Amino acid sequence: MKHYLSVNDIESLPQWVDEAIKLKKDPYQFEDLGKHKTICLLFFNNSLRTRLSTQKAAMYLGMEVMVMNFGNEGWALEYGDGTVMDQGTSEHIKEAAQVVSQYCDIVAIRAFAGLQDKAKDESEEVINGFAKYASIPVVNMESSVGHPLQALADAITLEENKLDKKPKVVLSWAPHPKALPHAVANSFVEMMKLQDAEFVITHPEGYELNPAITEGCTIEHDQDKALEDADFVYVKNWSNYTYYGQVLNKDTNWTMTEKKLGKAKFMHCLPVRRNMVVEDAVLDGNQSLVVEQSKNRIFSAQIVLKKILENLK
């Protein structure tokens, strides 16, 4: 692995999850590995968990961390080839990526989908631009179409909490007042495809994710049926993919409730809208894994950085 851009860059999911769980028990055991190595975290969008957990992961590995809000602290970037830059953009991704590569050993980037233009979002110009022009490894801290650090944290959480060798895991769409990207759902689906599990996706008709990603997955539009005998229910809103970025459905019949959840464990990547995505009783109950998921963000980042650092040597 050079870059960690998507779940598909994980060389062996079970092995990485196993190593991450070992890191969690003794997080400073590789503190020398990152000595004299610097990671730069570039944020084009807001962040709480990713910002703090990735810093923490780097600290556990003894790395130096530089954090930058590229959007308002740096320069507006140009991504087009051959553009005459006489408008609003001040610096080309070609220079920006090469320059950042001079100052650190790994660069991690967050750049959300704009949800205005599907083709543009799917071209992943920010993270792919960095991956193309940087001379150092690039880590995805949530891009337009994927959030692979979250999916890896989710895999760790599933492993730690599963009782069956082959649990039933349901990804259940939830209503939300605002248009949200597909990144978390996409990476969760991609990760589940690498798992030995019974995996079902449930959402209202017309709320299909990118079919290239869900290919081969069971999709069940009847939420109750999908949830039957579930061991884990991962709840997440995403905006419409066909009518790209639109909010066509806010049906609170899809809100996750204690009753619907049954005996399953509840998962969500956070931040979560209470009583819209999921009712209070679920989050405040003891079947919720959301805080544990957020803790595992440290160890998904740490295993990724560890793998990259070992490669750098």
Tell me the per-residue interface mask from 243 to 262 with a copy of itself, x by CB under 8 A, - otherwise.
-------x------------
Q: Does 18 bind a copy of itself (CB under 8 A)?
A: no
Task: Find out whether 57 and 309 touch, Cβ atoms under 8 Å.
Answer: no
Query: What is the smallest separation between the CB atom of 19 and a copy of itself, expressed in angstroms?
Result: 19
What are the start-end ranges of the E strands in 122-214? Answer: 138-140, 168-173, 198-202
Question: Is 261 annotated as belonging to a binding site?
Answer: no
Stretch that binds a copy of itself, among 99-107, 124-132, 163-171, 206-214 (CB under 8 A): 99-107
Binding letters toward a copy of itself, positions 263-282, x by CB under 8 A? -------xxxxxxx---x--
Q: Is 51 labelled a binding residue?
A: no
Give the nearer residue to a copy of itself in terms of CB position, either 39 or 213: 39
Backbone φ, ψ for residue 243 (5° rounding):
-90, 80
Instruction: For residues 10 and 3, give the distance between their C-alpha atoms in angstroms, rounded to a whole number.
Output: 10
The binder of a copy of itself chosen from 3, 5, 7, 78 (CB under 8 A) = 78
Assess contact for 271 and 142: CB atoms under 8 A: no
Burial code of 70-89, b = ≥16 C-beta within 10 A, e = fewer?
beeeeeebbbeeeeeeeeee
Q: Based on CB atoms, which residue is closest to a copy of itself, 84 or 212?
A: 84
- The residues in 176-215 that bind a copy of itself, with binding defined as CB under 8 A, are 177
Is the CB of 177 or the CB of 262 nearer to a copy of itself?
177
Residue 147 as a binder of a copy of itself (CB under 8 A): the answer is no
Check: CB of residue 40 under 8 Å from CB of residue 106: yes
Read off the tokens for 8.
Answer: 């598909």
E-strand stretches of 163-270: 168-173, 198-202, 218-219, 232-236, 265-267
- The answer to whether the annotation marks 236 as part of a ligand binding site is yes
The minimum distance between CB 68 and a copy of itself, in angstroms, equals 6
How many residues can be counted in the chain? 313
For residues 44 and 241, which CB has a smaller minimum distance to a copy of itself in the complex?
A: 44
**Residue 273 marked in a binding site:** yes
In DSSP terms, 91 is beta-bridged to 77
Is residue 294 involved in binding a copy of itself (CB under 8 A)? yes
Residue from 124, 137, 107, 157 nearest 265 by CA: 157
Least distance CB 278 / a copy of itself (angstroms): 10
What residues pair up with 171 in beta bridges, in sequence order?
201, 234
Question: Would you state the torsion angle of the CA atoms of residues 36, 55, 77, 105, taken in this order, to the nearest 10 degrees?
Answer: 20
Choose one: 47-55, 112-120, 233-241, 258-266; the region binding a copy of itself (CB under 8 A). Answer: 47-55
Residues 33 and 310: beta-carbon distance below 8 Å = yes
User: What tokens does 138 get?
Assistant: 């690039």
- For residue 217, say whether it is annotated as part of any ligand binding site: no
Site for a copy of itself, rule CB under 8 A: 28, 36, 38, 40, 43, 46-49, 51-53, 55-56, 59, 64, 66, 68-70, 72-75, 78, 82-87, 90-92, 94-96, 98-100, 102-104, 177, 250, 270-276, 280, 283-284, 290-291, 294-295, 298
- Cite the annotated binding site by residue number: 47-50, 75, 110, 142, 147-150, 176, 236, 269-270, 273, 297
